[in-house]
């Protein structure tokens, strides 16, 4: 057996089958490229679902991590460390907000938002105890914890995990009337992805997000924006909501906040909202640890100049122009997205998304399919234009026969 076959077989035997990865075993990576254990090179057009916006092995991020590794890596929140205040202050500033509640994974940020919104509902809005409702969208993806999958509409993500957490209303994504109709005086929050990533990079109708903002403001309901995948440069802006000129009450951040080095997530909001917490009411051993803060501080510094956002916007325009040409043919039935982020629907007659992904892998390009015959393209924002064009050539070759 080859090294690859060995590694795949051992993983098959000894890891729970919660994923069906492409049959590649990565050994090293740099920028937008990964190299497998046999020395084959692949262009990474997934970027860890946007956790790797700044590319693999980013010098600045590795230097920041290395320097912090030599100083202090963990204190727990029982003691403050010397990167914590800067991290919270600078992340709040980047978001135009006041307070930060750091966690580790995206799902924890969503859980934290649920707790925050409920507590705000009881303490500030005056919702009767135990009655708080949060409205979410169909086809959402907000993570994998039992509460978060309780409001998923994806049977794969949800089946056999009940009993489910109550307190959520699901409305169709992009439908303002349905949202307005679902609101009651016990509604504490509307939780949405500004662009639905896992659903296939679905961009809502123009005006929808601004409408959600207006409606939530009128009804004294928190607008919680899950920008864990859409945020931090991916769409050509720091936040996807900026395209609609919308500022939410709460940003949920994760993925790229840790630079692909360590898991870092956060809830970022106003003092009026995050001020509801008292000591002991929420926490995390690793949340806001020194290593996480050091890496995230470098991420924030990189985003502050706007250069990555600009690059994502420019290369994204190019990507969407090229994909638009493909969409004119028979092989591609639809293309959606914004910035360096696209969902490409392939004619099911040409194969499933999985089959297309495998063919691309054989040509040295790694993508991930989602829902049937859709593939998504989300390269690291540092990808070279020639590399992106080469990747698109491989896609054209696979679709052309
Ligand atoms: C990935 C993702 C999450 C969950 O993040 P984890 O770090 O995997 O827990 C939540 N929301 C969105 C929009 C995501 O893309």
| pLDDT by position in tens, the chain (length 401) | 899 999 999 999 999 999 999 999 999 999 999 999 999 999 999 999 999 999 999 999 999 999 999 999 999 999 999 999 999 999 999 999 999 999 999 999 999 999 999 999 999 999 999 999 999 999 999 999 999 999 999 999 999 999 999 999 999 999 999 999 999 999 999 999 999 999 999 999 999 999 999 999 999 999 999 999 999 999 999 999 999 999 999 999 999 999 999 999 999 999 999 999 999 999 999 999 999 999 999 999 999 999 999 999 999 999 999 999 999 889 999 999 999 999 999 999 999 999 999 999 999 999 999 888 999 999 999 999 999 999 999 999 999 85
- Choosing from 49, 102, 149, 229 the residue with most ligand 1 atoms within 8 A of its CB, the one to mutate for a pocket test is 229
- For residues 169 and 183, what is the distance between their CA atoms, to the nearest angstrom? 9
* Backbone angles phi and psi of 366, in degrees to 5: -110, 120
Ligand 1 contacts CB of residue 249 (under 6 A) = no
Instruction: Looking at the CA of residue 140, tell me the nearest atom of ligand 1.
Output: 13
CB-based contact 254:105 (threshold 8 Å): yes
Alpha helices by DSSP H, listed for 121-205, are 146-150, 155-158, 176-182
pTM given for the model: 0.98
Q: Is 87 part of the annotated catalytic residue set?
A: no
CA of 143 to the centre of ligand 1 (A): 5
Q: Is 239 part of the annotated catalytic residue set?
A: no
Ligand 1 contacts CB of residue 142 (under 6 A) = yes
CATH architecture of 59-304: 3-Layer(aba) Sandwich (3.40)
- For residues 337 and 326, what is the distance between their CA atoms, to the nearest angstrom? 15
Q: Is 30 part of the annotated catalytic residue set?
A: no
- Choosing from 19, 143, 234, 235 the residue with most ligand 1 atoms within 8 A of its CB, the one to mutate for a pocket test is 143
Ligand 1 contacts CB of residue 290 (under 6 A) = no
């Amino acid at each position: 057996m080859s090294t690859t076959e060995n590694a795949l077989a051992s993983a098959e035997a000894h890891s729970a089958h919660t994923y069906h990865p492409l049959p590649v075993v990565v050994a090293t990576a740099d920028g937008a490229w990964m190299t497998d254990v046999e020395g084959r090179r692949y262009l990474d057009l997934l970027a860890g679902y946007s956790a790797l916006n700044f590319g693999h092995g980013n010098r600045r991020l590795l230097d920041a991590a290395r320097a912090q590794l030599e100083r202090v890596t963990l204190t727990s929140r029982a003691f403050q460390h010397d990167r914590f205040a800067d991290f919270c202050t600078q992340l709040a500033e980047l978001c135009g907000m006041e307070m930060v509640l750091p966690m580790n994974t995206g799902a924890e940020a969503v859980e934290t938002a649920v707790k925050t919104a409920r507590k705000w509902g009881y303490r500030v809005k005056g919702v009767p105890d135990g009655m708080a409702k949060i409205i979410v969208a169909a086809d959402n993806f907000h993570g994998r914890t039992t509460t978060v999958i309780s409001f998923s509409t994806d049977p794969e993500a949800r089946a056999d995990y009940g009993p489910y957490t109550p307190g959520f209303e699901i409305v169709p994504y992009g439908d303002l009337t349905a949202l307005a109709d679902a609101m009651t005086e016990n509604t504490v929050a509307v939780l949405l992805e500004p662009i639905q990533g896992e659903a296939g990079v679905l961009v809502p109708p123009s005006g929808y997000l601004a409408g959600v903002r207006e409606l939530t403001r009128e009804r004294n309901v928190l607008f919680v924006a899950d920008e864990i995948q859409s945020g931090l440069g991916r769409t050509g802006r720091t936040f996807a909501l900026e395209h609609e000129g919308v500022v939410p009450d709460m940003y949920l951040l994760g993925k790229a906040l840790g630079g692909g080095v360590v898991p870092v997530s956060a809830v970022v909001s106003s003092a009026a909202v995050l001020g509801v917490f008292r000591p002991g009411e929420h926490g995390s051993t690793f949340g806001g640890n020194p290593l996480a803060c050091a890496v995230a501080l470098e991420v924030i510094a990189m985003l502050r100049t706007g250069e990555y956002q600009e690059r994502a916007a420019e290369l994204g325009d190019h990507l969407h122009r090229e994909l638009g040409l493909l969409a004119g043919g028979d092989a591609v039935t639809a293309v959606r997205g914004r910035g360096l982020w696209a969902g490409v629907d392939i004619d099911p007659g040409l194969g499933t998304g999985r089959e297309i992904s495998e063919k691309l892998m054989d040509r040295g390009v790694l993508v991930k399919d989602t829902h049937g015959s859709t593939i998504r393209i989300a390269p690291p924002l540092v990808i070279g234009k020639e590399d992106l064009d080469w990747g698109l050539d491989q896609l054209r070759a696979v679709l052309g026969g």
